[in-house]
Structure 1
Amino acid sequence: MNPSTANIEEAILSAILAGRIPPGTRLGEQKLADLFGVSRTRVREAMMRLETRGIVQVSARRGWFVVEPSAEEAREAFQTRRVIETGLLQTVREVPPEVLASLKEHVAIERQAIETGDVSSRACLLGDFHIHLADALGNRLLTEIIRDLTARTTLISMLYQPTEKAEESSHDHEDIVAAMAAGDLAAAARLMDEHIGKVEAGLDLSSKPDPLASLRELLVPSTFTDVAPSMPHPHGTAAPHAHHHPSTKED
């Protein structure tokens, strides 16, 4: 893989995990090429790799976009995470002391970010816990899979999660690590399953938020027409207000 292509992929994936790139964001080839100092061919290679990983999709007319997972795709993503992450803990026979120390340190950093109100860092750290766990246990392939799945569920949370429960998630992580430290991997797997289940249960998959809500509110004419004075008509009579509602159809 070309190093520049890898950098583009890593930058986009990291930004998604940190919650800085929302679903549906357009990723312009030329702007990315200028930003990374590479050709559009290199950018396209990176986008194609991210597409195979389920992170972006392409539109023939409008280019590359970060995916907007459907409710069904959200359910599938969380189901997959539960199978993989609980299965990982179920197959571990022993957790090395250095792994436990690393995980405890990660949870401590999570707690610090929550206590200081560092929203960007805590969002990144909470998602990274699952990636860090797989990485610390030495399974590189599973680490890559969990990283991609975590990115997808981060996008899903942006679309369907009404409130963030950062403190609760961090406590769950702490309990999982405590079970691992006690040598009870079965309990750790059960706690992981419950944790992912709680995150999924906190989503409102019944309806997808309206991406045009803020713009729609700004352009609703009723507020303006209720208070605006009548414009004088060229022949001395007031012209009636035209109540045209803005179209929400995207060009």
Structure 2
Amino acid sequence: MTAAAKSSTQIAERITEAMLARKLAPGTRLGEQQLAELFGVSRTQIREALTRLVTRGIVTVSARRGWYVIEPTPEDARDAFEARRVLELGLLRHARPIGADAIRKLRQHVEREQAALEGEDVATRSFLLGDFHVCLCESFGNTLLADTLRDLTTRTTLTAMQYQSSHHARQSCAEHVGIVAALEAGDLELAEQLMHNHLCNVEAGLDQSLRSDSLSPLRQALAPLSENADFATSPPLKEF
């Protein structure tokens, strides 16, 4: 990784790709000096790259602690999935049928997904499954929406890592295949419905208690032990 990426834009994209590939977990510290040595650039360039990612909402910075990959809350997860639904379903709803070259590109993408599923490279598999949505957006020729979707997909990938999404990779790939088939048939209405189902399935894979109640872990930990008779009837502790 020491060779190619030199500009702050390229460095930011390399870090984003690592998140999509599930190589950088939520909360990972991004040390300026380590990254500068890794990429062979100055710390100024690293700060420029990380500042780009802060602006895009996938890195956070503290003057005292440094730079970190975001740790999405359940509320963040809901917002990100809702934004993805608005963007991706709206794109399909208002788009014209795409051409043969775009269909060929999408088919090649899902073929790469299928090949990755048969191998042991989990990082490539994870990246391709997330990148499918960006590739789809690019197929309609809207690079601005594609850039926005890349960041939203990164957020939902980090969410899945944090809350242990159970949505199976093979199911995701099969759903992508169905969406491409609908697009190839020129049935945008069906493609939109399949995309809606797909995003709902992925979101449903998140831990339900965390999605419905952000205080669930703390609430359970601090719940009163009322069912313990001895504890419930014991005299109150003295205050110190």
User: Which one-letter code corresponds to 1:137 in the other structure?
Assistant: F
Asked if residue 50 in structure 1 is aligned to residue 53 in structure 2, the reply is: yes
Q: What is the one-letter code of the residue matched to 1:158?
A: M
Does 2:138 align with 1:135? yes
Deviations 1:91-142 (A, max 9, x none): 1112101111111111111111112343221111100100111112211101
1:110-149 correspondence runs (5 A) = 110-149=113-152
Q: Matches of 1:205 and 1:37 in 2, distance apart?
A: 43
The one of the two structures with greater contact order (alpha-carbon pairs below 8 A, sep at least 6) is: 2
The secondary structure found in structure 2 opposite 1:27 is coil
Q: Letter of the aligned partner of 1:206 in structure 2? A: S
Amino acid at match of 1:6: T
CA distance, structure 2, for counterparts of residue 151 and residue 32 of structure 1: 20
Among candidates 180, 185, 188, match of residue 185 of structure 1 = 188
In the alignment of these two chains, the number of paired residues is 207
Alpha carbons of structure 1 residues 86 and 58: separation in structure 2 relative to 1, 3 Å:
same
Cα 1:205–1:48 change in 2 (3 A) is farther
**Residue from 12, 16, 20 that aligns with 1:17:** 20
The alignment partner of 1:183 has SS state of coil
State which structure, 1 or 2, has the greater radius of gyration over its C-alpha atoms.
Answer: 1
Give the Å deviation of 1:162: 4.4
The corresponding residue for 2:235 is none
Alignment partner for residue 151 of structure 1, among 140, 149, 154? 154
Counterpart in the other structure of 1:216: none
Aligned partners of 2:30 and 2:172: how far apart in 1? Answer: 31
Deviations 1:206-242 (A, max 9, x none): 249xxxxxxxxxxxxxxxxxxxxxxxxxxxxxxxxxx
Pick aligned residue for 1:206 from 196, 209, 223: 209
1:167 corresponds to: 170
Q: Report if the CA contact (8 A) 2:6-2:39 is conserved.
A: no
TM-score normalised by the chain length of structure 2: 0.82
Q: How far, CA to CA, are the matches of 1:118 and 1:179 in structure 2?
A: 29
Per-residue CA shift, 1:30-86, capped at 9, x if unaligned?
A: 111122222222211111111010010012221000000000000000000011001
Quick one: distance in 2 between partners of 1:32 and 1:3? 11
Query: Aligned to 2:106, which of 100, 103, 122?
Result: 103
| Structure 2: distance between partners of 1:183 and 1:207 | 39
Q: Which residue is equivalent to 2:73?
A: 70
Rounded to whole Å, the distance in 1 between the matches of 2:41 and 2:170 is 41
TM-score (norm 1): 0.79
C-alpha spacing 1:101/1:162, structure 2 compared with 1 (3 Å): closer
Aligned pairs (5 A) from 1:25-40: 25-40=28-43
Provide structure 1 residue ranges, at least 5 long, that are not aligned to the other structure.
Answer: 209-251
2:97 to 90, 94, 98: 94
Q: What is the CA–CA distance in structure 2 between the aligned matches of 1:157 and 1:27, rounded to whole Å?
A: 20
- 5+ unaligned residues in a row in structure 2: which ranges? 212-240
CA-to-partner distance for each residue in 1:128-173, whole Å, 9 max, x for gaps? 1001111122111011001111111110000112435000000100
RMSD: 1.6
Cα contact 1:56–1:65 (8 A) shared by 2:
yes
